[in-house]
Structure 1
Amino acid sequence: MWINVLCGLLLPGIIIGYLFKKNPPLITLMYPIGVAIAFVGSDWGFGFFWDVSPTFEHNPSLSAFPYKIGYFPLLSCLFGYIKVKEIVKTPLLIFLFSFITTFMELLAVWSGKILYSNGWNIFWTFVTYLAGFIVAFLYIKILKKYKVLR
């Protein structure tokens, strides 16, 4: 579980802190959407399509909790930061984030940290991340439309 806390919460928290210093309004807005997407996506399939080790009998999703409040919000913050800076075109940005995140999860699957079941595979993981980053993009678009973000 210490690996989950370190990789899922502490290291992402340091990077989020750095990004917050660079653009506080953006990180303040992107962090909650990252948490929301993480909880919706993870809780939807947790226990049926995948499990994260170590598993706890009374709360099997507890081992994924650090990732839901650290790693995944970090991804949404980085995505938003790059999108707002317009460093990369949107379709490529969505694809790259989906691909890299899927690859990171594939490493966790290979290491035995994540176990897929009931027909779940890396393709469906990619589709799930793709949907999440599309939602993050639409959120940024709405924030810009109503001039919450510039």
Structure 2
Amino acid sequence: MSAVSQQQEVPVGPDEALAVVNAQQQTYLKRHEIKPAPLLTAWGLAWLIGYVALALYREPDYGLPRAPYLFFCGCLTVALLFTVAYIVPKARGIRGRSSREGTYYGLAWALGMPWAWWIMSVAGGGGMLVAAAVSAAAGAKRGA
């Protein structure tokens, strides 16, 4: 059917127009809404099960055999694959600013996970060293 031959009903009044808009919003949300519960469940299980494996198999000298570490990485990989499989179909068809912002958010999250140790090291440890230096300088000014 061509667009010209299609019969479309035009809403008669503002109430009908609002009903059409609400119906379109609901259809959009069903198709594109990314609910946090499935993602949080996947990642929560991956962390819970993965870290339990690491905790149970640590050695007395805090060494870690390769198998639990690989299991932990496998748990994270499964959660990542689930996340991609869940989000990609929901994001299909979204263009413009929303698409770019979603891409940036996803990349920041993903990069923030492989770089977390560096962030904790530099921001956490470095921040505490800066605070120590400021504290020491303030103490020296007071004559303490």
TM-score (structure 2 length as normaliser): 0.30
Between 1 and 2, higher relative CO (CA 8 Å, sep ≥ 6) is seen in: 1
Structure 1 or 2, whichever has the larger Rg, is 2
TM-score (structure 1 length as normaliser): 0.30
